Amino acid sequence: MKKILLQKITALGVLVSLLSACKKNYITGGIPEDVNIYKNTSTYDVLKSTALYDTLVQVIDAAGLKDKVNEQGTTFFAPSDYSILNYLSQRTIFVQNAYNQNAKFALDSLVYYVKNNVKGTRDSLLMYLVHQPLTYSALSSIGALYPTGLNGNTVAVSYEYTKDVTLGYSSLVSSVPQVVYFTQLWRSYTITPSTPASAIPLSVGVRTLCKTSGITTQNGIMNALENSHVLFFYGTKQ
C-alpha cells in the first residue's frame, strides 16, 4: 500500500486543469487521478502511509502537532523527507563552521529541538499550515496572502499557469496547465495584478513549487512541496 500511495502522490504528481474543467483530476504518470481518493483519510494518516514522509511524521509526533495537522478546514503544505535532509545538511555545515568541525546536526538533534521548542523550532512547523481549505476555486493566478499557524508569519499561495513541459504543458492540449506555488515571505508584500506572487523577489520571499496539490483529505487539503525545498526555508533568507 505504501508503494502504491507513494507513486500516486510523487510521480509527476502536478495538479493540472487540462483534463478536467472542474479540476477534479491530477496527473500521475499520464493517467488522471481523482483528487478525492483520500477524502476519508486524515492528512496525518496520508503522510503516515507514505514512505516519502516517514521522517516528517516523526518530527510531527515529536512536536505533538498531529492534532494541528488534522484540524478541520486546513491546508497543509507537506515538506518531504528530502526537505528535512536538506535542512539537516545545512545545519551540520553551520555547527561545524561555528563550533566543532566534527559536529553533526542529525535527526535526533532535530527531534530534541522540536520536542523542547528550542529556538521556536516546534512552532516553526506551523508555517506549513494555513487555516483555510485552499481548493483551486479559492486560489488565483496572481496569488493571495495567508497567515499561517506560526504567529506573525505570512505566505503567498498562487495557482499559476505554466508552459513548462515537465509540469504537464504540451502544445497538443487546448488548456494551459496550472500549478500551485507556496511562497514564504520574509518582508511585507502587496499582491496586485501588476505585482503578482510570481514576481516576488528573493529579497522578499522564497517560492516553492507544489509538485502535487489539491489532494482532498478528511479534514482539508494537502499539498506536497518539491523535494528541493529546505525545511523551515532554512538558509534561504536574503
Q: Which of 211, 218, 179 is nearest to 197 (CA)?
A: 179
- Domain map (residue ranges) of the chain: 2-233
What pLDDT shows up at residue 104? 94
> Residue 238: pLDDT above 60?
yes
Average pLDDT over residues 55-61: 98
**pTM higher than the cut 0.75:** yes
Helix 107-116 and helix 54-63: axis angle, to 10°? 30
What pLDDT shows up at residue 13? 44
User: Using an 8 Å Cβ cutoff, are 66 and 48 in contact?
Assistant: no
> Residue 233: pLDDT above 70?
yes
Average pLDDT over residues 6-26: 40
> Residue 49: pLDDT above 50?
yes
Average pLDDT over residues 207-227: 95
> Residue 27: pLDDT above 70?
no
Average pLDDT over residues 134-140: 95
From the candidate CATH numbers 2.30.180.10, 1.10.1660.10, 2.60.40.10, 3.30.420.40, the one assigned to the domain spanning 2-233: 2.30.180.10
> Residue 1: pLDDT above 60?
no
Residues 6+ apart with CB under 8 A from 183: 143, 155, 156, 157, 158, 197, 200, 205, 206, 207, 208
Q: Looking at this protein, which amino acid is placed at residue 195?
A: T
> Residue 24: pLDDT above 70?
no
